[in-house]
Chain A
Amino acid sequence: MPILTADMSAGTLVEWRKKPGDALERGDIVALVETDKGLIDIEVFTPGVLEKIVVQPGATVPTGTVLAIIRDAAPTGAPPVAAAAAPPAPSPVGPAPAPVAPGPAGRLRISPLARKLAAELGVDPATVRATGGGAIRREDIERAAAARAAAPEQQPRADRSARLRQAIGAAMARSKREIPHYYLATTIDMHSAMTWLTEENLKCSVPDRLLYGVLFIKAVALALKEVPELNSVWRGSEPVRSEAIHVGVAISLRGGGLVAPALHDTAGQSLRDLMRQFRDLVQRARSGGLRSSELSDPTITITSLGQQGVETVFGVIFPPQVAIVGFGKLVERPWAVAGQVVARPLVTATLSADHRVSDGHRGGLFLAAVDRLLQAPALL
């Protein structure tokens, strides 16, 4: 059971998408797991053949538990490896947080379809009786959901929301407890970027248009190449610089809470590709269906509260990352250009960074690079 978020301690195996004997490629989705962040598709990190399923659907197991055995694809009798092994987990320095998703201790006999439906309808399968005498089936879940709809209180939904809040609280408390944050802010003139964007969007049809948020994402990714220590993760007692740049984007969920999944290889993608993936990511974050690597891979996070009218946001770093970049609302304000005061669209960009890894000087260079890159949007 991989660790998908900083404070995940357990997950419920919902269903297997592959069966023993199936050949697996890196990135294939092998299983569906329920966490506090919703239903997550679990990918494999090594190619091979699924030899044996260890954890059955319905079981809630701690992170680190072997879910299945994958035999290496190498021709000689290579040793099997544990499936869906998590990327190296951040080692908690302080006391381990309490499990945020305690599940039933025993196994529940339930069909995968019923399990998925139960998750969609917010029904706790542990409270459902199997009328067929065997496993809980789809009809049992539908009956339970109908019965609950007649009741005034929808407890399971409230439970999930409370668990998500608890998970966010645990991660943020750990961040504030362990990470010595420092904070920087700068005002960026968005005149060139917005002028370029308007012209670009005139050339393309509705589905291909860009949002200015994508320019922020790409500029941050490129600026990280200049100040690479901000693109690190904290492992044990030291930072480990990440070769890959996977920018996580904070996405608010309907009904409260947030997730910050990764846009993989952010610096190497065109703005149009990034926009397509960003749209897809927001949609999947809000409707379910994020992939495990998207939750575990971010090397830095961007948070933007401009939509809510906020001008300046100083984010709290998501452990084990070492920096978070914030963008506020785009506002038109007086701005001095070549000795003249003119009206310009301005945005406040901020950096919250880990002082164990970088200093204000390097953080300042990073924000200056973001500013410089946004002045030449055609090159992004």
Chain B
Amino acid sequence: MTRDEIRATVLRTLGEIAPEADLSALESAVSFRDQLDVDSMDLLNFVIALHATLHVDIPEADYPKLATLDGCVDYLAAAGAR
């Protein structure tokens, strides 16, 4: 999967988790928590959805690496998202 495809998947997943959010205005280097009204349950559902869609195992210790859009793309690309 290319970085652009991963990025699109991450944004689509976020849209399902926080349907009211305006993702077109999302800053890719700023944490989701600072931009969206999401809680730990939302972030857990986000990781579960990425795990299911991209077939990537994500240890809990790596969750901080998924805090931003850029971070997600870097992490998932390196982890071999497919």
- Give the Cβ gap from B46 to chain A, nearest Cβ, in Å: 10
Q: Is the CB of B41 within 8 A of A206?
A: no
| Chain A residues near B41 (CB-CB < 8 A) | 211, 278-279, 282
**Scoring B residues 47 to 60 as 1 if CB is less than 8 Å from chain A, else 0, what string do you get?**
11001100001111
Q: Is the CB of B39 within 8 A of A202?
A: no
Q: Is the CB of A307 within 8 A of B40?
A: yes
**Cα–Cα, bound, A342→B51 (Å):** 36
Q: Give the interface residue-count category, chain A.
A: 10 to 19
Q: Give the interface residue-count category, chain B.
A: 10 to 19
Contact of A254 among B20, B40, B51 (CB under 8 A): B20
**Cα–Cα, bound, A213→B44 (Å):** 12
Q: Name the CB-closest residue of A to B60.
A: A201
* Residue with the highest number of chain A CB atoms closer than 10 Å, among B18, B40, B52: B40
B37 at the interface (CB under 8 A from A): yes
- Give the Cβ gap from B21 to chain A, nearest Cβ, in Å: 9
| Chain A residues near B39 (CB-CB < 8 A) | 252, 307
**Cα–Cα, bound, A228→B58 (Å):** 41
**Cα–Cα, bound, A278→B37 (Å):** 19
B64 at the interface (CB under 8 A from A): no
Q: Is the CB of B40 within 8 A of A207?
A: no
**Cα–Cα, bound, A211→B59 (Å):** 14
A198 at the interface (CB under 8 A from B): yes
Q: Is the CB of B51 within 8 A of A206?
A: yes
A76 at the interface (CB under 8 A from B): no
- Give the Cβ gap from B55 to chain A, nearest Cβ, in Å: 11
A52 at the interface (CB under 8 A from B): no
A205 at the interface (CB under 8 A from B): yes
- Give the Cβ gap from B57 to chain A, nearest Cβ, in Å: 7
Q: Is the CB of B57 within 8 A of A206?
A: yes
Q: Is the CB of A206 within 8 A of B37?
A: no
Contact of A206 among B18, B19, B20, B58 (CB under 8 A): B58
| Chain B residues near A202 (CB-CB < 8 A) | 59-60
B45 at the interface (CB under 8 A from A): yes
A209 at the interface (CB under 8 A from B): yes
- Give the Cβ gap from A216 to chain B, nearest Cβ, in Å: 12
- Give the Cβ gap from A215 to chain B, nearest Cβ, in Å: 13
Q: Name the CB-closest residue of B to A309.
A: B33
- Chain A residues with CB under 8 Å of chain B are 198, 201-202, 205-207, 209, 211, 213, 252, 254-255, 278-279, 282-283, 307
Q: A211-B44, A279-B41 are in contact. List 14 more A-B contacts (CB 8 A).
A: A198-B60, A205-B51, A206-B47, A206-B48, A207-B48, A207-B51, A209-B44, A209-B60, A211-B41, A213-B40, A252-B39, A254-B20, A283-B45, A307-B40
Name 24 interchain pairs, CB-CB below 8 A, sorted by A: A198-B60, A201-B60, A202-B60, A205-B51, A206-B47, A206-B48, A206-B58, A207-B48, A207-B51, A209-B44, A209-B60, A211-B40, A252-B39, A254-B18, A254-B19, A254-B20, A254-B37, A255-B20, A278-B41, A279-B44, A279-B45, A283-B45, A307-B39, A307-B40
